Amino acid sequence: MSIRETLEYKGTVYRIKNLTWGQAASSSLPESIGITAGNGAWHAKCDIVPPKETVEGGPSPFTQTYPLAGDTVVIKVWQGQKLVATFRPTVSTARHSIDSASLEMTIPLDSFSRKVRLPPVMRVMPKNTFDIAWSSDADGYRHCYPTPLWAVAEAFRAAGYHLTPPPPAGLWAEATMQGAFFSNEWKKNGYLIRSQAHKNPAGGAFSPRLRHEEGMLWMDAGKVAVHNNTGRPIPAGRIRLSAMIGLSHAGEAQVYAVASDNWLVGFHITAARQLQVVRGYVGGTTEVVHTIDASTWASERVISLRTVGEMTEVAVGDYRASFATSFKAPFQYLSVTADPLARVAGVQVSDPNTGVAHPALAHRQTAQIQPGRWATGLAASPSIRDQSAGSVLDEIAAATCAAWWVDGEGIAHFESAEYLLGKPVAHELTAAEHIADYQIVSELALRRSAVEVTYSEVASTYTTGYNVELWSKGGTAKAGDNTEGFIEYDEATDWVDPDATFSNLNANPSGFNSMNGSWFGCAKPGPTQDSPTRWVGGYAMTVREVVPWKWVITEKFSEDANREVFEHPQISRMLHGAQTPIMRGRGKVERTEATVAVAADSSPFAGVLAIDATRWVTDAKVATEMAQYLAGKVTAPPPCMRQVTVRYDPTITMHAMIRLFGVQRDGSGNLFGAIIRGSVEGVTHDPDSGTTTLDIRTVAEEFRSRNWAQVEAAVRAQGMTWAQLEATRTADKTTWATAEAAPDIYHGG
């Protein structure tokens, strides 16, 4: 079948030649596991064939008709009339000559150097300053159910790859529902004020549920509310509300934008996926103002509503409808309620006067996650303090036995080992028809004598106010001292909602009795034992945030002072002697390392496989299951296949599952005497030479042929005689000709 490749640039389609492309994994896990934690860049090369007749002269970067470094192009590969591959790489190097233009292209990974900053999240989070009294909630706390996938989704997002629509200009509040029920406060996309189970069969005060479908996560059986990001005033009279609804949605859901006067506008999505636009008041009745049948948006996932003045427009796919509905007061919070079997994600409220009318409708999912048993619920997810997106993904993948990469179409993937290695076979390659060359590699270094997984035991403290003591200084100072220092904490500890607005003990000593908030003040004893102790008036303190989770404290003293609460008559006796300044917050997470070990029945010369899952596994059972799984992979890992040259097939992609027939089950076509199933960890396509070259990590040995000596040993081990074996052959109607060609068949398998 004929092969044809084209390159599209600025509306012009060029014929290309000498096209090669491929991708190789970058691993921080041993090959015996069969997966990779890192990511190797997709790359390609080609030559553009200039049109025979052109007025621009030879290919040149100055004519603006040929790609330059940094330009994005589209490459399409055709087999006959069938389009089999499409890529959207970026040109890394362009070379122009008198009769051709040569390009080197890649899917750039530079964006994964962007920094990620995430706050810590506990399963049960304390209330915050925006909390509303939800009388229907069991305890009023926020139940967030953090998982490592929240950090994965945010790392992808920081690098420009999105599961849900990216934040639009003028964002006021957002609930992505990807890996945790929380809003990333550092990106100012709102403040989580509610997160509770709804109609959960287990009952009690639990979090909403996360369901995995369509390469992302969806919420069901829960109630979530996110307050606006009050960093700037919210204008009255307008809102833009959008949400994603899964294709398999089969439960009731309500998605509202709520104003400061409790007026709401939003969606009801029925269990049959009928969409109703509603308005009304919180706690009162709602009125349906427009209905969209499920059939109208059967293949669409994003809905958007825009209200300006007295008119509202709803949009889904190509469908548009306008009607009279207003939103007069300023937006206050978004609210989502989902029954079991509902599928809701990516809810956003933004200013409709910024950007295009419905930016969420342009969303194309450029990231996919396939979670497994080990990227599961955490007692608390750690803070991420200005760590690059790539290193976050590397760390989580290695800690949870997963792989991540970006393919040639620009889709970022995060896949667990169980999903990746459990994929159905996509390609079968035989010795006679496909395999031209190969290397089989077996290394002692791939074996391990034991697997050790280090995880964290977590202690979480949370309160309803700023009651958790996080830091205090104490000590004495001399008159004229000017001191500076940092308030910070180590990686094994996280602070939740620290209060950096210190109150003055001298001005409000009785307020200190509440044990709420952060305070400063110094005392000075009198010159004699009978002299009274007093507050130091000549003391000044300032606190400035340097970066999140780190502050610089400056103190100036005009007289001798003691950083301690003295026996003041207005202060409770149990607080006498407390060190100052004192910083409090709403919560604190502390971690200590623990290790589980599982022996692997391997070579006595093999080393130990150590997995550091300290930040991303907080359950001994999960750590043990992962260690047991890995032990099975490293005891006697099968040989890996390298440089397997096969007939050109552009549909073979990274991490595809391959079955290699090194021999047929009847003994014919014997190349290397086994049938193996493996995962592609490196691929290079060269259509001009008609070859595809693969690196394959063996997942399973499905069949191995045996010679007559091995058959005889197996027969004797079973206590059988040749006469008994001959009787078996006769009963099976196996001829000697067949048995000679395939001893395994003669032996019965």
Q: β-strands 657-661, 427-430: how paired?
A: parallel
User: H-type helices in 534-641, by residue range?
Assistant: 620-634
What CA–CA distance (Å, rounded) separates 337 from 200?
A: 12
What is the model's pLDDT at position 601? 72
% pLDDT > 90, the chain: 59
Q: What is the pLDDT averaged over residues 284-313? A: 95
pLDDT of 738 above 70: no
Compute CA 130 distance to the chain's CA centroid, rounded to the nearest angstrom: 27
Q: What is the pLDDT averaged over residues 467-480? A: 94
pLDDT of 531 above 70: no
The one-letter code for the residue type at 66 is Y
pLDDT tier at 173 (50, 70, 90 boundaries)?
Answer: very high
Digit-coded pLDDT (tens) for 383-425? 999 999 999 999 999 999 988 999 989 999 999 988 888 899 9
What is the model's pLDDT at position 127? 77
pLDDT of 603 above 90: no
What CA–CA distance (Å, rounded) separates 616 from 149?
A: 10
Helix/strand/coil (H/E/C) assignment for every residue in 128-176? CCCCCCCCCCCCCCEECCCCHHHHHHHHHHHCCCCCCCCCCCCEEEEEC
pLDDT of 543 above 90: yes
Tell me the whole-structure pTM to 2 decimals.
Answer: 0.89
Q: What is the pLDDT averaged over residues 235-250? A: 96
Q: β-strands 503-504, 519-520: how paired?
A: parallel
What is the model's pLDDT at position 232? 75
CA angle 722, 724, 726 (to 5 degrees): 65
CA angle 170, 175, 178 (to 5 degrees): 125
What is the model's pLDDT at position 36? 55
Q: What is the pLDDT averaged over residues 732-741? A: 60
What are 348's two structure tokens? 């956003």
Could you tell me if 255 and 347 are in contact, meaning their C-beta atoms sit under 8 angstroms apart?
yes
What is the model's pLDDT at position 200? 81
pLDDT of 427 above 90: yes
What CA–CA distance (Å, rounded) separates 356 from 10?
A: 23
What is the model's pLDDT at position 26? 61
**For 201-206, which contacts have Cβ atoms below 8 Å and span 24 or more sequence positions?**
201/340, 204/138, 205/137, 205/138, 205/139, 205/141, 205/143, 206/143
What is the model's pLDDT at position 747? 44
pLDDT of 524 above 70: yes
Q: Do you know the residue count of the chain?
A: 749
Digit-coded pLDDT (tens) for 669-726? 788 888 999 999 889 999 888 899 999 988 888 988 766 566 666 667 667 776 776 6
Q: Does residue 581 have a cis peptide bond before it, meaning omega lies within 30 degrees of 0?
A: yes
Contacts of 596 (CB under 8 A, 6+ apart): 452, 453, 455, 620, 623, 624, 627
Q: What is the pLDDT averaged over residues 547-560? A: 92
Digit-coded pLDDT (tens) for 322-377? 999 999 899 999 999 999 999 999 999 999 999 999 999 999 999 999 988 889 99
Q: What is the pLDDT averaged over residues 9-16? A: 91
Digit-coded pLDDT (tens) for 448-473? 889 999 999 999 999 888 999 999 99
Could you tell me if 459 and 507 are in contact, meaning their C-beta atoms sit under 8 angstroms apart?
no
Say whether 366 sits in a helix, a strand or coil.
Answer: coil
